[in-house]
Amino acid sequence: MKARPLEPEELRLFRNRSIIIGIVIAFIFSLLASRLWYLQVLNGEKYVEISRGNRIRLIPQAAPRGVVYDRNGIALADNRPAYQLQLIREDTSDIETTLRNLSTALGIPYAALLKKLEDHRFQAPFKPIILAEDLDYKKAAIIETYQEDFPGISIVIESRRFYPHNKIASHMLGYVGIRSEEQEKALPKNKWSSGRVVGQASIELIHNDTLIGTDGGKQIEVDSAGRELRILSKPVHPISGNDIYLTIDTRMQRFIHSTMKGKSGAVVVMKPKTGEILGMGSYPSFNPNLFASGISRKNWKRLINNPEHPLENKAIQGIYPPGSTFKLVTAYAGLAEKIIDENTTFFCNGYYHLKGRQTPYKCWSWKLGGHGNVDLRKAIQHSCNVFFYHVAVELGIDALHSYANQFGFGQRTEIALLNEKPGLMPSEEWKQKNLGERWYTGETPPVAIGQGFVTATPLQVINFINIIANDGKFTPPRIIMSESLPTFKSLGLTSDYLKLIREGMIAAVNDERGTARIIRSKTVTFAGKTGTAQVVGHKTTKNWDDEKKDQKEFQNHAWFVAFGPAEDPEISVVVLVEHGGGGSKAAGPIAKKILHYYMGNFDNPTHAEAHALPPKNEFAQQLHQAFH
């Protein structure tokens, strides 16, 4: 159908409407143009500055880690302020220039700064990148003073772990380090900032959840350089981690450290009645401060390649033949099985001949012609091997195994520290299962004197000595202070037999010919026992030249165990000196110094006083307030 042409009147109306619509559109665009002119021309510089300038940020605040104290409130693992260098990329228009200025001003290699940036290239531009940890005060002051020259760079004060006594108690305390991805996943969100650094070993790791604080935060306005201008809302204060008190005494710990200077081994000092550890040292030790800011590759290699294993806690992880200290187990087993009594004697001419074996077993006194007739007290006093050979062969390995287990050998003490080793107490079943052979009678005499297959940790040995000192009661070793009473467990041992053993240990210290007389005191009656554990057997060294025999790694381990006062024990001690030679010569003087130091410098507080948790020291209180 053909369209009808518009009438003149309709055409005029259409043109009028088009003009009106055009005027409206033109007016709108003129308004937009004038607004753009106002923003971009008249006030352009102002709004460019605003667009580049102030921003709102939510800043998390990490809480200080809980402090680890000794029993007297002396801080062993504390916190200190540390200066962290951060970059926020959206706050700088020229990152390369900023990094080069930083490198020049602070002496940090430009390549290292660039790598930090590259490692975080996928991170949101408003999130901070940590360029350097633990800057010294002078470098931090340079950044704060000349902030305009470092846009996007800021100094953040954080809490950093600090071990004020350096190597003292390092194996008990452990150390901290930057968390792994797995450790981060395990943290609740309100601990992410506070838990950036977490425990990596020992107490720091075991009680990590207790020690980590709860994050706080604040909303702030920052300028174009990233500097804080004002807080926009009420901040949420971080909550410090909980503190922990250990049973150790820093005085004793420091004294142990001084006595073991230059030696390799372990020392444990305990209160036998309560199981509290007053001091535990493993040597050589390490400085946990090396880890607090991230250990260098050089220092890490130096530690792990050290043949004396400074990172190993030898008190609970070092396993050694217990030597003659084990004779006390053999003694009790012989008494309990009625093989011997207090009047039984054996003749020692320096040798023990086992039927069917051509080579006799030696007593350490074989060059002196032996000990002659000895009963149990004298056998302990003189540490006569032959007496205990007789007893052990009559007992058999399985009976010896059973009594050794009662005293804690071959099993962990379950102290609240990581990676404790159980040692080994052999039996017929064990040898058949692990070596595929039956047990031979000729293998029993070495076990009787703490040699052969038997091994133990220093903590197991002092645990065993505490049972003797406590007349058959077992008190689990404790490293964490508690207000509750210690737990006792009766092992069903016979008091009369333990008394005979203690008499032998007292004679070993106080008799003129006793092997442990090095620790004898004019004022206190101590009980003690020496031990010398062979590293290499006599058969092996028989054809060696003197030079090889004198090498340190082939020398015997030296043991010394003691407690006192013998009638009412307050303290027990075990000393192990690796490759030290004879127990009395190498370990005895150390045990003597420790025992006499305790008796001369420590009071005997009541139970309530001993278990009262002391207040925080002044420095810790000030630091706590500073972070809040």
Q: What is the pLDDT of residues 378-405, one digit of tens each?
A: 999 999 999 999 999 999 999 999 999 9
127-160 residue pLDDT tens: 788 888 878 888 888 888 888 888 888 888 888 8
Could you count the other beta carbons within 10 Å of the beta carbon of residue 562?
31
CA 417, 419, 424, 428 torsion: positive or negative? Answer: positive
User: Under DSSP, is residue 115 helix (H, G, I), strand (E, B) or coil?
Assistant: helix
Residue 530 lies in a domain: yes
Backbone angles phi, psi at 231, to 5 degrees: -90, 130
CA 615, 619, 620, 624 torsion: positive or negative? Answer: positive
Average pLDDT over residues 84-98: 83
The pLDDT value recorded for residue 623 is 35
End-to-end Cα distance, the chain: 88
437-496 residue pLDDT tens: 999 999 999 999 999 999 999 999 999 999 999 999 999 999 999 867 778 889 999 999
Residue 118 lies in a domain: no
Give the pTM: 0.80
* DSSP single-letter state for residue 623: H
- Are 135 and 84 spatial neighbours (Cβ–Cβ below 8 Å)? yes
The pLDDT value recorded for residue 57 is 65
Provide the total of helices (H) and of strands (E) in the chain, helices listed first: 26, 21
Its domain, for residue 422, covers 313-477+493-601
Q: Which of 372, 328, 330 shows the shortest CA–CA distance to 350?
A: 372
Residue of 224, 324, 365, 427 with catalytic role:
324
Q: Which of 87, 93, 86, 88 shows the shortest CA–CA distance to 51?
A: 93
Q: Mention every residue, 6+ apart, whose C-beta is less than 8 A from residue 77.
A: 67, 68, 161, 162, 163, 173, 203, 204, 288
The pLDDT value recorded for residue 23 is 82
In DSSP terms, 530 is beta-bridged to: 560
- Are 204 and 211 spatial neighbours (Cβ–Cβ below 8 Å)? yes
The pLDDT value recorded for residue 218 is 72
- Are 267 and 256 spatial neighbours (Cβ–Cβ below 8 Å)? yes
In DSSP terms, 160 is beta-bridged to: 80
- Are 401 and 426 spatial neighbours (Cβ–Cβ below 8 Å)? yes
Backbone angles phi, psi at 144, to 5 degrees: -65, -35
Residue 74 lies in a domain: no
Using CA atoms, how far apart are residues 259 and 251, in angstroms rounded to an integer? Answer: 13
Strand order in the sheet with 55-61: 55-61, 216-222, 228-231
Total domain count for the chain? Answer: 1
In DSSP terms, 56 is beta-bridged to: 221
User: Under DSSP, is residue 116 helix (H, G, I), strand (E, B) or coil?
Assistant: helix
Please give the sequence-ordered ranges of beta strands (E in DSSP) within 18-119, or none if there are none.
55-61, 68-69, 75-87
Residue 624 lies in a domain: no
Residue 439 lies in a domain: yes
The pLDDT value recorded for residue 608 is 35
The pLDDT value recorded for residue 320 is 95
Give kind and range of the element (H or E) at residue 372: strand 372-374
Q: Mention every residue, 6+ apart, whose C-beta is less than 8 A from residue 472.
A: 490, 491, 492, 493, 494, 495, 498
Q: Answer with the residue of higher pLDDT: 177 or 34.
A: 177
Average pLDDT over residues 257-271: 96
Residue 23 lies in a domain: no
User: Under DSSP, is residue 282 helix (H, G, I), strand (E, B) or coil?
Assistant: strand
Q: Which of 290, 315, 308 shows the shortest CA–CA distance to 166?
A: 290
Strand 176-178 versus strand 346-348 pairing type: unpaired
- Are 428 and 398 spatial neighbours (Cβ–Cβ below 8 Å)? yes
Cα angle for residues 413, 590, 383 (degrees, 5° grid):
75
Q: Tokens in use for 379?
A: 């056998």
Strand 557-564 versus strand 244-245 pairing type: unpaired
Percentages (nearest 5) of helix, strand, coil residues in the chain: 40, 20, 40
- Measuring CA to CA, how many Å separate 408 from each of 345, 440, 624? 28, 24, 43
Residue 298 lies in a domain: no
Q: Which of 115, 228, 237, 223 shows the shortest CA–CA distance to 628?
A: 237
Asked which of 13-17, 39-43, 319-323, 512-516 is least confident by mean pLDDT, the reply is 39-43
Using CA atoms, how far apart are residues 144 and 153, in angstroms rounded to an integer? Answer: 9
The pLDDT value recorded for residue 250 is 96
Helix crossing, 385-395 with 327-336: angle to 10°? 50
Using CA atoms, how far apart are residues 134 and 161, in angstroms rounded to an integer? Answer: 11
Q: How confident is the model at residue 497 (pLDDT cuts 50, 70, 90)?
A: very high
Q: CATH no. for residue 549?
A: 3.40.710.10
Q: Tokens in use for 391?
A: 């007893």
The pLDDT value recorded for residue 424 is 97
Backbone angles phi, psi at 128, to 5 degrees: -70, 145
The pLDDT value recorded for residue 358 is 85
Residue 527 has pLDDT above 80, yes or no: yes
Please give the sequence-ordered ranges of beta strands (E in DSSP) within 176-247, or none if there are none.
176-178, 197-199, 216-222, 228-231, 244-245
Average pLDDT over residues 264-276: 96
449-462 residue pLDDT tens: 999 999 999 999 99
CA 68, 73, 74, 79 torsion: positive or negative? Answer: positive
The pLDDT value recorded for residue 274 is 93
Active site residue 324: yes
Residue 254 lies in a domain: no
Which residue carries 């290239």 as its tokens?
121
- Are 230 and 242 spatial neighbours (Cβ–Cβ below 8 Å)? no
Q: Answer with the residue of higher pLDDT: 539 or 11.
A: 11
Average pLDDT over residues 510-520: 92
Average pLDDT over residues 67-71: 96
